[in-house]
Amino acid sequence: MIKLIANYSTLTAKQKKVYSVIESYIKTNGIPPTVREIGELVGEKTPGAVQGILNRLEQKGVIKRQLGAARSIQLVSQDDQMYSKPVFIPKIKKISKRNLDDLTSIYNIERYAPFAPEVLDGNGSFFVIDSPTDGLEESGFTADDTILVNTSAEPTDGDIVLIFYETRALLRRYYAGENGTLSLKADSSILDKEIFEPDEVRIIGRVEGRYSKF
């Protein structure tokens, strides 16, 4: 007997829709749906068309059925390729002079936040933190936002970066200055300063995402 290997990447849009309907129905009701119920949920009035989709799902190894049983559909493996496994990124509490060299210390981690792997650069080193309120308010960054920071990314002109200056974490737009200086620009700021020597400011990382609460 040939054992089929589940191949979720080959499912068509309609097949994915039927698979999702089956999965949702099982989670809600504790039993698999009938062919008629699947048809009603996906808007397919012809039982034969639903049967055809189920046959193809079974051929691709993502469901199993028992011949002759009305509610026999089983999803193959809960740990499948249909959904990417999240990557858990530490959400840190604060940035200070004391923890600047060890931001993701266990004592500074508030929790871990799940991210889809395709959102992240595979070679990056990330954390999330509540957005600083000084720097880029006019660009849309507020105290209600959470930002995703890549500490291993090399910033280029125009990138938004999280920096630490004196005693504060700030958001700025990065530009390489003249004679080795850094130009770190804000929309508006209580600091009357944009040009920095490399040894007076720490660039913590490049901001790669902003997540707002509504």
d(CA 125, CA 112): 14
Report the range out of 1-10, 29-38, 76-85, 115-124 with the highest average pLDDT: 29-38
The DSSP letter of residue 74 is: E
Q: What is the largest CA-CA distance in the chain?
A: 79
Angle, to 10 degrees, between the axis of helix 35-42 and the axis of helix 47-59? 100
- Cα separations (Å) of 94 from 4, 104, 168? 50, 10, 10
- Which strands form 160-165's sheet, in the order they lie side by side? 109-115, 87-92, 126-130, 146-150, 202-211, 160-165, 168-176, 182-185, 195-196
Q: Assign 139 a pLDDT band (cuts: 50, 70, 90).
A: confident
pLDDT score recorded for residue 77: 62
pLDDT of 2 > 90? The answer is no
**How many Cβ atoms from other residues are within 10 Å of residue 58's Cβ?**
15
Domain range annotation of the chain: 8-75, 87-211
pLDDT of 84 > 90? The answer is no
- The fold for domain 87-211 equals Umud Fragment, subunit A (2.10.109)
* Tokens matching residue 120: 């992240």
CATH class of 8-75: mainly alpha
- At residue 28, φ and ψ (nearest 5 deg) are -80, -40
| 182-213 tens-digit pLDDT | 999 998 776 778 899 989 999 999 999 999 87
Contact of 141 with 210, CB cutoff 8 Å: yes
The DSSP letter of residue 175 is: E
Dihedral Cα 48, 34, 8, 113, nearest 10 deg: 150
pLDDT of 5 > 80? The answer is no
pLDDT score recorded for residue 3: 41
